[in-house]
Amino acid sequence: MQGQSVGLVLKSPQGREAHSMYATVFTDLRQAFCQNVHKMPILKMCRRRLHSTNRPTEISTELTQLTCLPDSCLEKCINVIKWRAWARREAELELKTQARHVDNPSLENLLTELDWLLEDNTAAHIDAGTSTLSSYSKLSSDCMNSSWFRYGRNIDGSCLVSLRLPLEQLSILWKRRLVERVPLQYLTYTAHWRDLVLFVSPAVLIPRAETELLVELAMHAYEKYQRSDEDEEMRALKHGPWLELGSGSGAISVALAKDLKFEPNPNSPRLYAVEVSPSACSVAKRNFTRYRLNDTVKLVHGSWFDAFNDSENMKHLRFAGIISNPPYIPSHEISLLQPEVQHEPVLALDGGVANGTDCLRAICQGAAQYLLRGGILILETHGDEQTTFLSKELASFRHFEKVEIHRDYANIQRFVTARRI
């Protein structure tokens, strides 16, 4: 073990704040770190404690990989502070170079992303004097709300930080963000959305803030089912399965399964997630595994309702709710999107020619067949024009009532809901 140190690869399941339950584990690890040797009984005990806590399984696996990090992954705090200053100068220089472009991110937004990048890359803080190992959140709370790498306040510059990637590799990622305009989420393979930490890749769309409201609409409908009088139709809605179409990363399905507290049942899943892209299915499966939802959410590979039409085992299914954030950008607008969006999969963006409603209309037609009586259809759209068009389209089907338009955080008409008659 000479020349190496025990490090803890830590990825918090609760956004950017690590759980306090890691404190006991860190205390136990301190002994192993101070003696600079693998104490197998201590490490096994840590693994048992980490596995026994209620957290996503994949994150638990990452946490229990107590690896011997090379010296290049241990940096003095002062070096991280200096690196951030360099990264800021690079951002300022790149913005000046691209000043003629109107769709550049602001310096303020870039610096926010820079701090997120540093937070995600910081595995643990190691006090040089006491060899105390503590989580990133402990370090940041001690140092004025994550400002230690911005200002260096209250920090001994000689103390060590355990990094997932050395600063040289972090520099490459940061340059790609600035020059190639690759979204930060793709560089870190991580998207923080609602209270979730999701695995993402260029195979899937990055979850947007406004899509959180799609989940809120579903939760409101579900709660209304639970409060309604108990008749045969309402019992079917209370206990019926839900369906997400175009699952992508699985973000919506994960949020629904967690917030609606669906019970695991591999023989009768409460939620089905349909995705046509095999690569996106792999991402969604990873997130379902991360949040222990493999017995709650059934991932189905296929295009919209074809997956059910072609299956003898599933064609009989009827759903209490159908929810989707499908591709809705008109084909002729794809090339005009900002550079960051150009890195996202066209399959998840392109809604077809004309007004971009090809996928939305296909979902509406299929929902008329697959929704239970009284079931709800919840759709995200491109904005005012599409919501107006879609509400008229649904009314013309004569299978829906209570067609409503809902606004997003920017007061744009973004969502359409309708009830099956």
pLDDT for the residue 156: 60
* Whether 242 and 115 share a structural domain: no
* Whether 153 and 228 share a structural domain: no
Within a domain: residue 143? yes
* Whether 247 and 323 share a structural domain: yes
* Whether 217 and 101 share a structural domain: no
φ, ψ for residue 225 (rounded to 5)?
-60, -45
* Whether 271 and 406 share a structural domain: yes
* Whether 158 and 213 share a structural domain: no
* Whether 18 and 119 share a structural domain: yes
Q: What is the dihedral of CA 408, 410, 412, 417, to 10 degrees?
A: 0
Within a domain: residue 194? no
Domain boundary among 181, 196, 221: 181
Please report how the helices 167-175 and 77-97 are oriented relative to each other, as an axis angle in degrees rounded to 10: 20
Question: What is the C-alpha separation between 143 and 129, in angstroms, rounded?
Answer: 17
Q: What is the DSSP string of 309-369?
A: HT-TTTTT--EEEEEE----EEGGGGGGS-HHHHTS-GGGTEEESTTS-HHHHHHHHHHHH
Residue 108 domain boundaries = 5-181
* Whether 257 and 323 share a structural domain: yes
φ, ψ for residue 369 (rounded to 5)?
-90, -35
Q: What is the DSSP string of 40-64?
A: HHHHHHHHHHHHHSSS-HHHHHHHH
Domain boundary among 181, 197, 225: 181
Within a domain: residue 396? yes
* Whether 47 and 161 share a structural domain: yes
pTM for this model (two decimals)? 0.78
User: Domains in the chain: how many in total?
Assistant: 2
Q: Three-state SS for 298?
A: strand
Alpha-carbon separation of residue 2 from 29, 37, 127, 256 (angstroms): 18, 9, 19, 48
What ranges make up the beta strands (E) of 217-268?
242-245
Within a domain: residue 122? yes
pLDDT for the residue 125: 52
CATH number of 234's domain: 3.40.50.150
Within a domain: residue 204? no
- Asked if 257 contacts 286 with a C-beta cutoff of 8 angstroms, the reply is no
pLDDT for the residue 226: 86
Question: What is the C-alpha separation between 393 and 227, in angstroms, rounded?
Answer: 30
Tens digits of pLDDT across the chain (421 residues):
333 222 222 233 333 333 333 333 333 333 333 333 333 333 333 333 333 333 343 333 333 332 334 444 788 888 888 999 999 999 999 999 887 676 889 999 999 999 989 888 887 655 444 444 444 444 444 443 345 555 455 556 567 888 888 999 999 999 999 999 999 999 999 999 999 999 999 999 999 999 999 999 999 999 988 887 777 788 889 889 999 999 999 999 999 999 999 989 888 899 999 999 999 999 999 999 999 999 999 999 999 999 898 888 898 999 999 999 999 999 999 999 999 999 999 999 999 988 999 999 999 999 999 999 999 999 999 999 999 999 999 988 889 999 999 999 999 999 999 999 9
pLDDT for the residue 126: 53
* Whether 170 and 126 share a structural domain: yes
Within a domain: residue 302? yes
* Whether 277 and 409 share a structural domain: yes
- Asked if 327 contacts 379 with a C-beta cutoff of 8 angstroms, the reply is no
pLDDT for the residue 108: 94
Domain boundary among 162, 181, 200: 181
Within a domain: residue 200? no
* Whether 102 and 139 share a structural domain: yes
Within a domain: residue 102? yes
